[in-house]
Structure 1
Amino acid sequence: MERPAHVPAELVRPYPFKLRGARSWDLPRTMIPEIQTYPPIFWAENMHEMLPGAWVPRSMEALRAIYMDTEHFTVKGTSGFAQMIGQEWYSIPHESDPPLHSKYRMLLNPMFAPKHIARLEEHIREFARERLLELRPRGHCDFVADFAFEFPIRVFLELMGMPQHDMATFLAWEHAILRSAEQEPVTEALAKIVDYLAEQCEDRRSNPCDDLITLAVQGEIEGRKLDDDELIGFCFNLFVGGLDTVSTNMSNHFRHLAENPADQDFLRANPERIGDAIDELMRAYAAVTTIRLCTQDTVVEGIEMKAFDLVLMPTHLAANDPVAFPEPEKVDFTRKPRHVSFGYGPHLCIGMHLAKREMRIAMEEALAILPPFRLAEGAEIESFLSGIIGPTELPLVWEG
């Protein structure tokens, strides 16, 4: 499609991290230094065959400015999931704008507060330990398939009050929605998920439990109950946000430890530093790109944007901005990074404390249970570049 007239030709740049279906055998981090030579905001015109392109802020300053500007940029409807199956719900609170966004978050805040999440620690640790003890005698695993996807799904099912035997079904749905390059498997899985979540919401109306679905069904905003579309949006947001982001980040982190034995040895000897290490790994291997839609003409960092322009929000570029983080290519566990891997401003991830706890516990238990691990000899790893950046598989091996 033609470049819009208001986009200067000198701001157009090639960009490998497309909206859907992009993969690479190169380590994604190696692509970032060249992009950091681009203007602070540039135009990528190869994002999707149905779109003319999108603005991409590559600097931390530009990204944060757009995160904070809810007057000119909206998140509503940017995932496109409901529209794919002819429905009109939005992921809540992810696809809501202020002031309604803050009201949705107030409903959820008690369940995601650090004090409440701390109560889940033993359950989360039990899930991790049980699976890792199963894997240890094998001497090898595909970390992505054998642990990174299964572990957060078990935590999600526990939070939602859903049976653990549904794990395989959720795995299949998650892969179809977030990893399929073709449209048909995505829409089929979406329809099944929405039907399943609707059934769960209906069940909680008559059979309340101590879980997040019951919280949503019984909760109120502005003196009213959530309607059916809001309930679906609430549950779907937890499904997407609680699964793929955690599993992909864990996969990136464990790949780093497998490829950098000195860092792995350091954390084995200093497990109390694992929390700091995860913060730095979240920066170095920031994985998530969200989307904003420009609602009215505006200027950001001297760049003229028009209403209906699409803006990609790549945390991996901001996290490797040398202005914000000196020598960003280095992974330094003594760094105290103020990264944006969980978002920024009004849309700071509400599940951040849970996600960090899951990742910390998984690493603590893995380093305690598994012998030193490395990539399988000759392993070539393909990475997803669209949406959430991470390895398609991660073959690890160990002795003993």
Structure 2
Amino acid sequence: MQFPEPVIPDHVPASLVRPFPYVFGMTTRDDPFGDWATEVHKGPGIFYAPHAYPGGTPAWIVRRVEDLRKVYFDTDTFSSKDFSPYSKMVGDTWTNLPVEIDPPHHAKYRSFINPLFTPTAMTKLEGKIRNYAVEYIEAFRERGACEFMSEFAFEFPIKVFLELMDFPLSNTKQFLEWETGLLHEMDMWKMAVAVRNVVAFLREQIEDRRKAPRDDIISYALGVEVEGRKLNDDELVGFSFNLFIGGLDTVSTNMGLQFLHLARNPQDQQYLRDNPKEIPHAIDEMMRAYAAVTTFRTCTKETEFGGVKMMPGDKVAVHTTLAGRDPEEFPEPGEVRLGRNPRHVSFGFGPHMCVGMHLAKREMRIAIEEFVQRIPQFSVKPGHEVEYHLGMIQPVTLPLVW
């Protein structure tokens, strides 16, 4: 896909304008975690990419962990407000809550959401998460092969999300179609159709809970108060839409990358078979080495950051893929050491730290536990060349054999 060349602002030095391969919506057969990341880390700590933001527009790229933490934490200078296009593209006024709200207002929403996703709260889902994992694995175990993305990684988190939200499990295929339209579709019209469909579904579910409350998350949200008032319809939609976006593709993405690593590294696969208690540490190391998520901030005022002049309206890419391979933070970052126990930023940092991280890690842990217990030594199908989605980096397909 070709994007028009943008006009580079006057405050951006020509020496800091660099090509950038991680373009949203593109695919590649190159390894996005290998030579690409190594080459970027040989350059300036902060640089300007002509095509980085969704739609192929420019953004500053922040590659070092130290700088990422500063961007995450300095919400006065680097705002999360309105970075998502979804509401605008369908002419709505809701905002993803709480990720597109800056402090101090952010805390008022986060305070009622946090209790829903504590480790203790997520423990209640353990049995059902495990049952879903086993159900999917048993469907292909005796076949000796599976296409991991479509037969496990995409649908398994959707089932967990539907369980979490008390939505009908029969919606699994429909949710997968909507998720693909929202996160991997470059056709804006098709993306807008997916947004409208998701929002219509959520509004219907909200109205159902109003009429007949249940013991579930939407009913809980209908009962909470922020600044002495109940949430309005836009806030309820934004809250629910954010859970939809955050709870599906990010988990699928990480699972795809983790199982690709295990399929290519039989010694690590066997280590986790022999030492299942080490799986949580292994997940953290693989999340560092294969960090997949890029989020964006908008500069709110003229500032100098990392020796670079930024102006109001500049987009700033918080690139966890590059941060995970930062040689200043992680010695020999290209080596995956399952016992490293890294302080990665793949779940974010500061006030916008991922609220669903405990659920996501539980899903990933259970997936690996059950897979290595039930499936013998597995590998990538011989002759298969892995292709990756960029933006949210994930294998397009991952055929495994055993």
TM interval, shorter chain, is: over 0.9
Superposed displacement of residue 46, structure 1: 2.2
Query: Mapping of 1:89-238 within 5 angstroms?
Result: 89-238=94-243
Measured against aligned partners, the alpha-carbon deviations of 1:265-302 in whole angstroms (never above 9, x if no partner) come to: 11111111101100000000000000100111111111
Query: Mapping of 1:249-398 within 5 angstroms?
Result: 249-386=254-391, 388-398=392-402
Residue 74 in 1 paired to residue 79 in 2? Answer: yes
Structure 1 moving runs of 4+ over 4 Å: 48-52
Q: What are structure 1's unaligned runs of at least 5 residues? A: none
Superposed displacement of residue 52, structure 1: 5.2
Query: Mapping of 1:8-47 within 5 angstroms?
Result: 8-18=13-23, 20-30=24-34, 31-47=36-52
Question: Residue 211 of structure 1 aligns to which amino acid in structure 2?
Answer: D
Q: Distance in 1 between matches of 2:351 and 2:377?
A: 40
Q: Distance in 2 between matches of 1:216 and 1:103?
A: 13
Superposed displacement of residue 384, structure 1: 0.8
Q: Distance in 1 between matches of 2:118 and 2:202?
A: 24
Superposed displacement of residue 47, structure 1: 2.7
Measured against aligned partners, the alpha-carbon deviations of 1:66-90 in whole angstroms (never above 9, x if no partner) come to: 1111111111110111111111111
Measured against aligned partners, the alpha-carbon deviations of 1:241-269 in whole angstroms (never above 9, x if no partner) come to: 00000010000000000011111011111
Q: 3-state DSSP class of the match of 1:304?
A: strand
Question: 1:245 is matched with which residue?
Answer: 250
Question: Residue 56 of structure 1 aligns to which amino acid in structure 2?
Answer: I
Matching residue within 67, 82, 88 for 1:62? 67
Report % sequence identity: 50
Measured against aligned partners, the alpha-carbon deviations of 1:135-171 in whole angstroms (never above 9, x if no partner) come to: 1012111111100011100010011110000111001
Q: 3-state DSSP class of the match of 2:52?
A: coil
Q: Distance in 2 between matches of 1:179 and 1:395?
A: 20
Q: Tell me, yes or no, if the aligned pair for 2:64 and 2:326 is still in contact at 8 Å.
A: yes
Question: Residue 103 of structure 2 aligns to which amino acid in structure 1?
Answer: P
- Counterparts in 2 of 1:50 and 1:3: CA distance versus 1, 3 Å: farther
Q: Distance in 1 between matches of 2:199 and 2:341?
A: 40
- Counterparts in 2 of 1:286 and 1:52: CA distance versus 1, 3 Å: closer
- Counterparts in 2 of 1:173 and 1:44: CA distance versus 1, 3 Å: same
- Counterparts in 2 of 1:262 and 1:328: CA distance versus 1, 3 Å: same
Question: Residue 115 of structure 1 aligns to which amino acid in structure 2?
Answer: T
Q: Tell me, yes or no, if the aligned pair for 1:16 and 1:22 is still in contact at 8 Å.
A: no
Q: Distance in 1 between matches of 2:84 and 2:54?
A: 17
Q: Distance in 1 between matches of 2:140 and 2:57?
A: 47
Question: 2:3 is matched with which residue?
Answer: none
Q: Distance in 2 between matches of 1:51 and 1:335?
A: 36
- Counterparts in 2 of 1:144 and 1:219: CA distance versus 1, 3 Å: same
Q: Distance in 2 between matches of 1:112 and 1:52?
A: 35
